[in-house]
């Protein structure tokens, strides 16, 4: 797997966050490419984390934070539990569809200072915080995927 570095760019804060988030999203998808279905759902670490769960979880995380909490939409959140009928391809498709919806909402927001319409705590957060959090969470889980993929077949690279 070729090592792909983050895109260098000179842009405003929103575009920089969006580009780095997209890089991490694509890094995760590259990590699961061509993985056997059984290997994608096999837990190789004590926590039970699998490649399939990571993809499903990040689709849920982006939907939760941007669509439900930031935009305030009443939606059915994607399930991040791994079921027998799940496939890696369907999870990746769902994740990619999530990107389009999330990116549209982020691009239409008038400012990164805009607060979430729904929050799960007493502390309000704005879009800037949400994007930073999603970048952090996606990068963290892409790192988990790096380790799992290396344990599965020795492949490394971003």
Q: How far apart are CA 122 and CA 131, in angstroms?
A: 19
Identify the domain containing residue 91 by its residue range.
13-153
pLDDT at 1: 59
- Tell me how many domains the chain contains: 1
Main-chain dihedrals φ then ψ at residue 148, nearest 5 degrees = -60, -45
> Per the domain annotation, does 93 fall within a domain?
yes
- The helix or strand, by DSSP H or E, that contains position 97, with its residue range, turns out to be helix 88-108
CATH number of the domain where residue 77 is located = 1.20.120.450
71 pLDDT more than 70 = yes
What are the tens digits of pLDDT across the range 114-137? 999 987 777 789 999 999 999 999
Find the mean pLDDT for residues 103-108.
98
pLDDT at 134: 98
């Amino acid at each position: 797997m070729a090592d792909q570095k983050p895109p260098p760019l000179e842009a405003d804060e929103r575009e920089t966050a969006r580009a780095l988030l997209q890089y991490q999203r694509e890094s995760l998808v590259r990590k699961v490419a061509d993985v056997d279905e059984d290997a994608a759902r096999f837990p190789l670490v004590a926590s039970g984390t699998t490649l399939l769960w990571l993809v499903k979880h990040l689709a849920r995380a982006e939907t939760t934070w941007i669509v439900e909490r930031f935009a305030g939409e009443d939606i059915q959140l994607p399930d991040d539990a791994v079921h027998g009928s799940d496939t890696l391809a369907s999870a990746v498709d769902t994740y990619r569809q999530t990107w389009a919806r999330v990116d549209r909402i982020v691009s239409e927001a008038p400012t990164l200072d805009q607060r979430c319409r729904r929050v799960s705590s007493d502390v309000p957060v704005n879009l800037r915080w949400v994007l930073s959090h999603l970048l952090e969470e996606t990068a963290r889980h892409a790192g988990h995927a790096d380790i799992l993929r290396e344990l599965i077949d020795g492949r490394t690279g971003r």
